[in-house]
């Protein structure tokens, strides 16, 4: 039997150069599932995504998903993509096993915690205060530079990385320290500033999206003393004060200390973002 992808409908093209298309997964011409592919202009058009891949129940466990995923790679190669990514829910064990078997590795993951009703106490000697205008200006310069460098490390051309960073901050921090539903906080330990927190309490575009920690940073000379944990506890306190009962975050798969911290605080993995180089 031959498993192939058959286009369903026309290819969709975006103003920014993105392209996407749906395909039927067919066995000897008989539809048994569906695949949707796209290029991801967030990190440059060279990256492709498997937006969705599903095989109908009667045809599962016969290798159809494996062949469909390999065929998807060939389509994205033809589109000029050098890398492929797939977001796999933690509950989809079969999909995680398939991605691993095909050579995908985890790049980052999202995690979520349902918060207790009682705000956690901060350690003795620790205090949190809002970020001031001057403090925000200095922080924003450093934060923007770090973001641009991280994009460049993923292979994004510098000009595109700068444009991506500026667009992101325009969207997420349009009014600086006065941005609605956003907490920008400084952590002090016995009067000395040691770290910063950037927390979005609500998504203005989607009320179902949980609060999200965008950034937790501890100054290098103060690391290893539990201040990262304190900043996360401060984030929980901010959420509860605003009537928010769930908190999410995104963490790199290579950041083992952060993964240990979040797991110890009760965060659970919700989605793994798996990636593979296309040669």
pTM above 0.75, yes or no: yes
CB-based contacts of 256, cutoff 8 Å, min separation 6: none
Output the pLDDT for position 155.
73
3-state secondary structure of 273: strand
Position 50 scores a pLDDT of 96
Fold of 116-244: Aminopeptidase (3.40.630)
pLDDT of residue 45: 56
Question: Would 3-81 and 116-244 be classified into the same CATH topology?
Answer: yes
Q: Average pLDDT of each block of 10 consecutive residues along the chain (279 residues)?
A: 89 84 94 94 74 93 94 94 94 94 96 96 97 96 93 82 91 94 97 97 75 95 96 97 95 94 97 93
* Helix, strand, coil % in the chain, rounded to nearest 5: 35, 35, 30
Q: What are phi and psi of 234, to 5 degrees?
A: -65, -40
Tokens found for residue 40 = 């991801």
Measured CA to CA, the distance from residue 107 to residue 99 in angstroms comes to 12
Distance (Å, rounded) from C-alpha 238 to C-alpha 212? 11
Residue 54, beta-bridge partner list: 34
Identify the residue whose tokens are 């609500």: 202
pLDDT reported for residue 206: 67
Dihedrals phi, psi of 191, to nearest 5 degrees: 85, -5
8 A C-beta contact, residue 122 and residue 234: yes
User: For residue 186, what are its two tokens?
Assistant: 């400084």
Domain spans of the chain? 3-81, 116-244
Q: What pLDDT, on the 0 to 100 scale, is given for residue 15?
A: 74
- Please report the pLDDT score of residue 44 as a whole number: 54
Task: Provide DSSP, 81-130.
Answer: -SEEEEEEETT-HHHHHHHHHTT-EEEEEEEEEEPPSSPPPPPTTEEEEE
Measured CA distances, 81 to 85, 203, 239, 278, 279 (Å): 11, 31, 40, 7, 9
Assign domain 3-81 to a CATH class.
Answer: alpha beta
pLDDT of residue 274: 96
| Local structure of 211: helix, strand or coil | strand
């Amino acid at each position: 039997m031959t498993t192939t992808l058959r286009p369903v409908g026309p290819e969709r093209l975006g103003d920014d150069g993105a392209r996407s298309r749906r395909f039927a997964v067919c066995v000897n011409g008989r539809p048994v599932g569906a695949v949707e592919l796209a290029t991801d202009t967030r990190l440059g058009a060279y990256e492709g995504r498997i937006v969705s891949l599903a095989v109908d129940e009667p045809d599962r466990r016969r290798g159809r998903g494996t062949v469909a995923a390999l065929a998807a790679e060939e389509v994205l190669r033809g589109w000029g993509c050098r890398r492929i990514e797939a977001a796999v829910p933690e509950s989809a064990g079969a999909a995680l096993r398939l991605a691993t078997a095909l050579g995908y590795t985890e790049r980052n993951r999202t995690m979520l915690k349902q918060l207790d009703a009682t705000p956690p106490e901060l350690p003795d000697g620790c205090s949190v205060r809002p970020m001031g205008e001057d403090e925000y200006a200095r922080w924003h310069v450093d934060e923007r530079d770090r973001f641009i460098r991280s994009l460049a490390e993923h292979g994004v051309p510098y000009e595109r990385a700068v444009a991506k960073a500026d667009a992101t901050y325009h969207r997420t921090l349009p009014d600086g320290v006065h941005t609605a539903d956003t907490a920008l906080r400084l952590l002090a330990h016995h009067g000395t500033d040691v770290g910063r927190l950037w927390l979005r309490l609500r998504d203005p575009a989607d009320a179902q999206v949980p609060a999200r920690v965008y950034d937790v940073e501890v100054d290098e000379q103060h690391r290893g003393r539990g201040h990262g944990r304190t900043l996360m506890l401060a984030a929980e306190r901010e959420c509860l004060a605003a009537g928010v009962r769930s908190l999410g975050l995104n963490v790199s798969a290579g950041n083992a200390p952060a993964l240990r911290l979040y797991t110890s605080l009760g965060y659970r993995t919700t989605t793994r973002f798996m990636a593979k180089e296309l040669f």
